[in-house]
Chain A
Amino acid sequence: MAERYDQLDQLIDGLFSRAETPLPETGSEFGPLVRLAADLCALPDPQFKQRLKEDLQRRATPIPAGFRTVTPYLVVPRGDELIDFMKQALGAVETMRSGTPGGFHAEVRIGDSMLMVGSAPSRPPSLAALQHYVENPDEVYRRALQHGATSLQEPTEEHGERFACVRDPFGNRWYLGRSLGPVYRPQGLNDINLFLHPAGAARLIDFLGRAFSAETIERHDSPGGVVYHAKLRIGNSVVEMSESHGWWQTLPTMVFLYVPDADALYQQALAAGAISLSAPADLPYGRSAAVTDPVGHQWYMTTPPSR
């Protein structure tokens, strides 16, 4: 037996080193196996296939450069002050601003992520909890306090991260984290990730799965079924979630989604139990519709004009 598998392996080694060598006759002892082995030299690499699939999925979604599927949209009465805070404390860069009746719409980049900011004195604010991975959370925490934020948690180490938390002057919560691994942010996450704290996280996870085809990639429940922490993939973004408790309460969050087909997704969301805020319509920035989820978060889905 030992000789058989040794002989076969020598022939396979030969395949690797001399691709043009004639294969053994099919009638010979190892002929059929070596021919099979020659075919296996063409076996595609599963990692290549997965990478290409992800690349195609990215290309299939018409998302403007720099954005991902999910963009938190913060709306406050004095948007310029919020943007100043983000610039000074978080190193944000404002990439565009355009006037709207009574206010403006702006877009800012923080690290590898984009946020939208609305300035609207006459409408209720839209706020968010944002997981923000940074190289040095202590430093960012200090700068945030200097520029008007309130500390919710001083820098500390827990669950494999250096972590601090502040509330900005408008009520948005910033979870400043640094992974204690070799890279400052955990694999698969971005510099900014939306964090939801619904009352009824399990129900919201179910809703998001049906409404937006969100895929739960991680979920930790208490024995009683309370969601401690979950990560959901929506398109090419990750949204984190945990049941509301303590000061981790639900915020009136608005989310902007870049999607391939706003009409179809709007119908899908309604079928999942969403409440319509606006039916699909052609707007200057694309085909857009909006719904409210069972917790009250607002989801604006937009298909930009074809490139």
Chain B
Amino acid sequence: MSSPLPADEQLLIEAAQKDARRFAELYEAHVDRVYAYIFRRVRDRAEAEDLTADVFHQALAKLGQFEWRGAPFAAWLFRIAANAIADRWQRRSREAGNLEVEDSDAAVNEEVERRVLLFQLVDRLPANQQLVIYQRFVEQKSIRDIAQALGRSEGAVKQLQLRALETLREQMGETNG
């Protein structure tokens, strides 16, 4: 989901501050971004889901405190996410004893936006390629299991995977200029 334009985003935030049900629209616009931000730090699906839920719960609860000063809403969400991750790591570092050093904001944003774009492009793949990508990378199923589930040969599934990746590479290249 691409980030809304600043003026639209400001209206959306004001609408959600008046009627919390509108928060779902902010969620839709930013969930991939927050997830990508968190995943690049924690590199674990269950933990990324847990932290993403935590960030949006906090954002919903604190939305009334958000003041529009021109900075993107995503930056506010990233701050909540960074704190949530730090809290968790601090708790853990008492046991394990190390804290990772974070990259610069620009590098983080660039990587996050690249992944958000990639996630959007996956949803535009032909249905059979999309299915293979989700089963392979989200569910981390083996080619054999996917082939069985889809009633296709393993070769056909590998071919779909290759085609999907080639299409994504091409489209990422085009979009990035």
Contacts and interface: CB of A to CB of B under 8 A. Distances in A.
Interface of A: 1-2, 4-6, 8-9, 12, 16, 19, 32-33, 36-37, 39-46, 48-49, 52-53, 55-57, 59-62, 260-261, 264
Given A39-B114, A39-B118, 14 more contacts: A5-B155, A16-B140, A19-B43, A37-B165, A42-B35, A42-B39, A42-B48, A43-B122, A43-B138, A44-B36, A44-B138, A52-B53, A260-B19, A264-B18
Given A46-B134, A55-B53, A60 B39 contact: no
Contacts of A56: 23-24, 27, 56-57, 60
Interface centre among A32, A42, A55, A261 (most CB of B within 10 A): A42
Contact of B21 (A9, A36, A39, A60): A60
Contact of B40 (A37, A42, A59, A61): A42
A60 B118 contact: no
Contacts of B143: 9
A12 B31 contact: no
Nearest to A235: B21
B145 interface: no
B28 A53 contact: yes
A42 B56 contact: no
B115 A39 contact: yes
Nearest to B50: A48
Interface in B42-57: 43, 45, 48-49, 52-53, 56-57
A5 B158 contact: yes
B119 A43 contact: yes
The 7 lowest CB-CB distance pairs between A and B, nearest first, are A60-B20, A5-B158, A40-B137, A42-B39, A5-B162, A44-B35, A33-B165
Contacts of A33: 162, 165-166, 169
Contacts of B166: 33
Contacts of B169: 32-33, 36
Contacts of B165: 8, 33, 36-37
Contacts of A8: 158, 161-162, 165
A3 to B, nearest CB: 11
Contacts of B43: 19
A205 to B, nearest CB: 21
B133 interface: yes
A60 B52 contact: no
Size band of the interface chain B makes with A: 35 or more
Given A33-B169, A36-B165, A39-B114, A52 B52 contact: yes
Nearest to A16: B140
Contact of A2 (B18, B24, B133, B155): B155
B168 interface: yes
Given A260-B20, A261-B18, A59 B158 contact: no
B74 interface: no
B84 interface: no
B49 A43 contact: no
A175 to B, nearest CB: 30
A5 B133 contact: no
A45 B49 contact: yes
Nearest to B112: A42
B122 A40 contact: yes
A2 B162 CA distance: 11
Given A39-B115, A41-B137, A260-B20, A6 B158 contact: yes
Given A9-B161, A42-B115, A46-B134, A36 B32 contact: no
Given A40-B122, A40-B133, A57-B24, A45 B138 contact: yes
A43 B134 CA distance: 8
A48 B49 CA distance: 7
B11 to A, nearest CB: 15
A12 B48 CA distance: 21
15 contacts: A5-B161, A8-B162, A16-B140, A36-B118, A36-B169, A39-B118, A40-B122, A44-B39, A44-B119, A45-B49, A52-B27, A52-B56, A53-B27, A57-B21, A59-B20
A48 B52 CA distance: 10
Contacts of B20: 59-62, 260
B82 interface: no
